Structure 1
Amino acid sequence: MAEAFKFELVSPERLLVSEQVEHVVIPGAEGEMTVLANHSPVMTTVKPGVVTVKSAGGGEERYVVFGGFADILPEGCTLLAESAVRVAEIDRDDLARRIQEAREDAADAKSDDERTRAEAFLGQLATLQDAV
């Protein structure tokens, strides 16, 4: 059994998780990362995706996050999400609405840089839709 550490998943609306866990998989901006106890300190932005949490008791829970950042320390990890919900509670209509808005943002972009960011976000949302 892996060593446990404190993990918190916080959205503006509520605290979704605050418990001892064995590991957490986070959709970091540079790719997925697995956080274990005694992880080296790092802070990363989080892209839209699925966070997988394996509790110290052995259960596993999955959450959809729509961006944010994670603060990882040897003794714990805090993920501050722009928006988050359990995968089982995902509102597929809301996800479809977000995808449509991202398409519109890409189409309405006034610069190449703005268009590139909007298209990247759209791609992340589409990947998320496939994952849930």
Structure 2
Amino acid sequence: MPVALQIVSPAKELLARDVDMVVIPGSEGDLAAMEGHAPLITLLRGGVVELHEGGSVTDRFFVSAGFAEITPERCTVLADEATPLAELSRAEGETRLAAAQKAYDDADKSDITTLLPLQDAVLSAQAWVETAQA
């Protein structure tokens, strides 16, 4: 049985369809959501969401951050930003990385509430660049 997958960003719903399995970049590591998965909500890190059907990867999307909800029947990915891999630009990733790194470098290192989101932005931009190179 398939799992109902929905990928949503603030701009639009990117995808809503059944898949055999979806692999998502959870904050603590990659997760595979399939039918019967235990209920779970996880933060997403910058990385690639892979859709699996018929034993192979059919689609890949880059997500910058967000969270995912997994139930035994469905997986909902609520991404801050989601982009099909074919549309990733290495140059844009490098621009994002430079801006994120500058914001981090300029931040008050004693203000942890500001620092943590800036670190996440740097890691997400690094993942964008690495993914666009692949």
When normalised by structure 2's length, the TM-score is 0.86
1:107 to 99, 105, 108: 105
Structure 2 residue runs of 5 or longer lacking an equivalent are none
Moved over 2 A (4+): 55-59, 91-94, 111-121
SS of residue in 1 equivalent to 2:20: strand
Q: CA deviation at 1:12?
A: 1.2
Moved more, 85-94 or 70-79: 85-94
Moved more, 79-88 or 102-111: 102-111
Give the equivalent residue in structure 2 for 1:34. 32
Alignment of 1:73-92 (within 5 A): 73-92=71-90
Give the equivalent residue in structure 2 for 1:52. 50
Give the equivalent residue in structure 2 for 1:122. 122
Identity of aligned residues (%): 30
RMSD: 1.9
Structure 1 residue runs of 5 or longer lacking an equivalent are none
Aligned residues: 130
Letter in 2 for 1:129: V
How big is each residue's C-alpha offset from its partner over 1:45-73, in whole Å with a ceiling of 9 and x where there is no partner?
11111110113696610001110110111
SS of residue in 2 equivalent to 1:127: helix
Letter in 2 for 1:125: A
Q: CA deviation at 1:24?
A: 0.6
* Counterpart Cα distance in 2 of 1:106 and 1:89: 27
* Counterpart Cα distance in 1 of 2:90 and 2:12: 20
* Counterpart Cα distance in 2 of 1:7 and 1:61: 12
SS of residue in 1 equivalent to 2:48: strand
Tell me if the contact between 1:107 and 1:115 (Cα under 8 Å) persists in the aligned partners: no
